[in-house]
């Protein structure tokens, strides 16, 4: 069973309480779950080590690329579960880049999109597994 109870509030709260460490745990689990949910597309989402190393080397640009890819991957795989997401990687990236200029709210919106879409896919995946 894949976690369907991810939430933005929990993510923010635990990230503040753990001085940012929880956000890395979150990314680790998110990458892992997305690789299971979208395994049929033959692609692979980079894990935490790759995320941290390449983000440091590229001054954070790889993190944007990672989020963009995840947004796209979720949108591309939604039809497999009879779902449709209106947001894709571009929406996530736009919120990350331009949304940050609006009192820093953009990255939260982007994370909300990713969490919402991952939860929806996970719910559909779990339902399929139970029916099988």
Partner 1 sequence: MKNIMIKEYVKFGLTMVLLYSFFDVIGIGCPIKFLTGVPCAGCGMTRAWICLLHLDIKGAFYYHPLFFLPIIYFFIFLFKDKVPHKIFNCAIVIGIVLFTTVYIFRILNPGAVVNINIKSGFIYKFYKLL
Q: For residue 103, state whether it binds partner 1 (rule: CB under 8 A).
A: yes
Dist. CA 57–CA 54, nearest whole Å? 5
Cite the DSSP H helix spans in 38-88. Answer: 48-57, 61-77
Q: Shortest distance, CB of residue 46 to partner 1, whole angstroms? A: 27
Site map 62..91 versus partner 1, x via CB under 8 A: ------------------------x-----
Interface with partner 1 includes 54 (CB under 8 A)?
no
CB distance 50 to 72 below 8 Å: no
Which of 38, 34, 21, 31 has the alpha carbon at shortest distance from 63? Answer: 31
Only one of the segments 30-38, 44-52, 94-102, 124-132 lies at the binding site for partner 1 (rule: CB under 8 A); that segment is: 94-102
Shortest distance, position 114 Cβ to partner 1, whole Å: 12
Query: Which of 48/100 has CB closer to partner 1?
Result: 100
Q: How far apart are CA 34 and CA 29, in angstroms?
A: 8
Phi and psi at 28, nearest 5°, equal -60, -50
126 touching partner 1, by CB under 8 A: no
Cβ atoms < 10 Å from Cβ of 82: 8
Q: Give the residues lining the site for partner 1 (CB under 8 A).
A: 7-9, 12, 86, 94, 98, 100-105, 108-109, 112, 116
């Amino acid at each position: 069973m894949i976690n369907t109870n991810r939430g933005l509030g929990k993510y923010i709260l635990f990230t503040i309480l753990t001085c940012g460490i929880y956000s890395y745990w979150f990314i680790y689990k998110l990458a892992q779950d997305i690789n299971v949910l979208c395994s049929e597309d033959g692609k692979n989402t980079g894990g935490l080590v790759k995320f941290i190393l390449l983000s440091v080397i590229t001054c954070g640009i790889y993190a944007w690329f990672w989020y963009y890819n995840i947004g796209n991957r979720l949108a591309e795989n939604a039809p497999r579960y009879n779902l449709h997401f209106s947001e894709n990687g571009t929406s996530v990236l736009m919120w990350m880049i331009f949304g940050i200029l609006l009192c820093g709210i953009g990255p939260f919106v982007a994370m909300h999109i990713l969490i919402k879409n991952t939860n929806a896919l996970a719910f559909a995946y779990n339902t399929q597994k139970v029916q099988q």
